[in-house]
């Protein structure tokens, strides 16, 4: 059974094939079809990027990286924080 992303890839490929086999009555219709293909290409690119960043290897790497602590995101150093508590 195909996943949704596989079905989307197939649909985009079908749309490109339809364009390749089409004969357009006017230049305006051809330009509209080209615009549509550009949008489909952007969708395909974003889909590929999504697949890459959600691959099992990438997700597993998120689990093995150093666990962040609140101090990692603080703008004050530990020493500055201690001084501010005494104020």
Per-residue model confidence as pLDDT tens digits over 10-44 = 999 998 888 888 888 889 988 998 999 999 999 99
Q: Is the pTM of this model over 0.75?
A: no
User: DSSP 3-state assignment of 17?
Assistant: helix
**Domain of residue 52, residue span:** 4-63
In whole angstroms, give the CA distance from residue 41 to residue 22. 18
Provide the number of structural domains found in the chain: 1
At residue 35, the pLDDT reads 92
Residue among 11, 10, 33, 37 at smallest CA distance from 23:
33
Residue 70 in domain: no
Residue 39 in domain: yes
At residue 10, the pLDDT reads 92
- What are the tens digits of pLDDT across the range 46-80? 998 888 888 887 777 777 656 666 556 556 566 76
At residue 70, the pLDDT reads 58
């Amino acid at each position: 059974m195909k996943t949704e992303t596989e079905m989307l890839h197939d649909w985009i490929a079908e749309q490109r094939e339809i364009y390749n086999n089409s004969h357009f009555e006017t230049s305006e219709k051809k330009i509209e079809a080209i615009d549509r293909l550009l949008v489909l290409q952007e969708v395909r690119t974003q889909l590929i990027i999504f697949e890459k960043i959600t691959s099992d290897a990438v997700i597993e790497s998120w689990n093995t990286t150093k666990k962040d602590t609140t101090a990692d995101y603080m703008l004050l150093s530990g020493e500055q924080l201690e001084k501010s508590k005494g104020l």
